[in-house]
Amino acid sequence: MCDSKTCLASVPSSPRRKFLRETGASAIAVTIGGLLTSKLSVAAEVTVVPKPENVLSPDDAIKRLMEGNARYVSGVTRRQDFAHDRDALIAGQNPYAAVLSCADSRVAPEFAFDSSRGDLFVTRVAGNVVDDDVLGSLEYAVAVLKVPVILVLGHDKCGAVGAAINVVIKGATYPGKIQSLAMTIVPAVNKVKGKAGNLLDAAIAQNVRNSMADLRSSSMLIREAEGLKKIKIVGGVYRLSDGKVGLLG
């Protein structure tokens, strides 16, 4: 009898044995590959978001905004606990709405809509106008954060709109970049000038509508998302006297 190791080494494998060995290994590889592909597909489909309650349709997001504002107006806001959300928000964010608001210190969207950290993606600039930086920020909110709604929020007694009215009516000029900001709002003033009613209130509402139009005309990304019904763009005016937000028709 020869040594088994020597015999095995010296005897060539039969074609059948070689076929079985190779096809067996291939089958195992295919099976493992299939399992890995399946697991990766499942992993790609299942996305864990920091705040699952913020995954809403555009209509539900608007409804949630207005329900929060109603609580704020009535003085029954919820207790916001940062400690409760802190760990989840370290991993990322999935706000349920983006807000373009005036920078006026009397208007605070997070308070006005009784929201918590991670709920609203807020950009603020005097007169709630759309410039490149605001546009890029809101495009990020739509494309990356997948917000279902953009709210353009003006407010009554807006100083920026009042400055634009003074430019149109009195030929006023302002120092620094204040003039260019006021000039951005002048088209809204001109559109409502001469109509019945309070000029400031009318210009504030028209300025909100102009910003909504600017978002659509200046950003293909936002325009396409709205066309696919992934987002809604709405406008509103915050009332300083009681905090109520009225949506524009």
The dihedral sign for the CA sequence 24, 30, 33, 38: negative
What would you report as the CA-atom Rg of the chain, rounded to the nearest whole angstrom?
30
Question: Within a 10 A sphere around the Cβ of 94, how many other Cβ atoms?
Answer: 20
Question: Is residue 155 part of an annotated ligand binding site?
Answer: yes
Question: Is residue 104 part of an annotated ligand binding site?
Answer: yes
Which residue type is seen at 174?
Y
- Can you spell out the DSSP letters for 8-58? HHHSPPPHHHHHHHHHHHHHHHHHHHHHHHHHHHHHHH----S-GGG---H
- Can you spell out the DSSP letters for 130-182? --HHHHHHHHHHHHTS--SEEEEEEETT-HHHHHHHHHHHH----STTHHHHH
Point out the annotated binding site: 102, 104, 155, 158
* Residues making up the binding site for Zn(2+): 102, 104, 155, 158
